[in-house]
Amino acid sequence: MSLNPKIADWAGQRVWVIGASTGIGAAVARELINRRARVALSARTRERLDAIAKGNDAVVAPLDVTDVASVRAAAAAVLSALGHLDLVIVVAGTHSPMRADRFDLARADQLLAVNLHGPLHCLDAVLPTLLAQGRGGIALVASVAGYRGLPQALIYGASKAALIHLAEGLYLDLHPRGLGVYLVNPGFVDTPLTQRNKFAMPALMTAEKAARRTLEGIAAGRFEIHYPRRFTSWLKLLRLLPYSAYFAAVRRFTGG
C-alpha cells in the first residue's frame, strides 16, 4: 500500500539532494540527473559537487549541515534557482565506531551534530516552503543500525534511531497536509564511510544500486525504503525478539 504520493516520472521533478558529494548521496544525484530531474546539489565540498554537475544544469549550493545559517542560505539559493521543491532528500551523515569502554564525548557530539542536528537544520530550512506549497516531500536517510542497539554503534545507532522516530512523527504531521515523508534505512552500502569498518559486512551493495532502490521506493510512494531486503528483513525480525533473546542473538552473530 502506498503511504505517500507516487512519482510516475522523474523528468522535470525539482529535487534537492543534501549530502550529494559522496556515497549514496552522490549516486542518488547522478541517477536523478540521468532521469532528467532538475537537481540541486549540496554538501561541504564544492569541487565534488561541481564534478557531478558538470555538463548538466544542476544547481550547486554548498553548505555545512552543522551550521544553521549555512543551510538557510543554501535553501534560499536553491529556491531562487528551482522556484519550488518537489522533494528534498537529506543524505548527509557520518559514522564513527564507538563502544562504551572507548566513549569519547567530543566524537559523540560531532556525530550527533551531523547525523541528527544536521537533518533538523534542513527541516528548519525547507518545512515552511513545503507547507506553503501544500505539496512535495522530504526523505530522511537513516540506517538499519537505528532499529536496535548494536556493537560499535553506540552513538551512530542512537542518531539513526532518532531519525527513524523523527520521520514517523513527521509523517503523522505532514501527510494530512498533502506532503510526502520517506524514511530510507540502508543496510551495508559500499561508501567511504563503510570502508572504515574492520569487519565483514553482510549483503554489501554498491552505492549505485542503493540509489536505484531509494528512488524506486520513493516513486512507489513507500514510507520506509530498506535494502538489501535479504539482510534488512532479518533485522526487522530481530526487532520483535524480547531483550534476552535479542542480546543473545547479537552476541552470537557479531561476537560482541
pLDDT of residue 107 exceeding 80, the answer is: yes
CATH for 14-230, among 3.40.50.720, 3.40.50.2300, 3.30.565.10, 3.40.50.300?
Answer: 3.40.50.720
Q: What is the pLDDT of residue 95?
A: 87
Q: What is the pLDDT of residue 152?
A: 87
pLDDT digits (tens, 9 = 90+) for 189-199: 777 766 566 65
Q: Which of 185, 196, 195 is nearest to 233 (CA)?
A: 185
pLDDT digits (tens, 9 = 90+) for 138-178: 999 999 999 999 888 999 999 999 999 999 999 999 999 99
Tell me the whole-structure pTM to 2 decimals.
Answer: 0.93
Q: What is the pLDDT of residue 188?
A: 76
Q: Please, is 162 exposed, middle or buried when counting C-beta atoms within 10 Å of its C-beta (0-12, 13-18, 19+)?
A: middle
The percentage of the chain sitting over the pLDDT mark of 70, rounded to a whole number, equals 95
Q: What is the mean pLDDT of the chain?
A: 93
Q: Is 156 a catalytic residue?
A: yes
Q: Give the mean pLDDT of 21-44.
A: 96
| CA dihedral for 136, 142, 144, 149, sign (positive or negative) | negative
Distance of CA 42 to the CA centre of its chain: 13
pLDDT digits (tens, 9 = 90+) for 41-76: 999 999 999 999 998 989 999 999 999 999 999 999
pLDDT of residue 236 exceeding 80, the answer is: yes
Q: What is the pLDDT of residue 196?
A: 65
Q: Which of 142, 149, 151, 137 is nearest to 189 (CA)?
A: 142
CA distances from 60 to 27, 38, 50, 116, 251 (A): 16, 12, 7, 23, 45
> Which has more pLDDT, 189 or 233?
233
pLDDT of residue 202 exceeding 70, the answer is: no
The percentage of the chain sitting over the pLDDT mark of 90, rounded to a whole number, equals 82
| pLDDT tier, 254 (very low <50, low <70, confident <90, very high otherwise) | confident
Q: What is the pLDDT of residue 73?
A: 98
Q: What is the pLDDT of residue 193?
A: 67
pLDDT of residue 218 exceeding 90, the answer is: yes
Tell me how crowded residue 251 is: count the other CB atoms within 10 A of its CB. Answer: 11
Distance CA 90, CA 184 (A): 10
Give the lowest-confidence range in 22-26, 124-128, 202-206, 219-223. Answer: 202-206
Q: What is the pLDDT of residue 119?
A: 98
Q: Give the mean pLDDT of 89-108.
A: 93
Alpha helices for 35-155 (secondary structure H): 46-53, 68-82, 105-112, 118-133
Query: Catalytic: which of 156, 171, 182, 227?
Result: 156
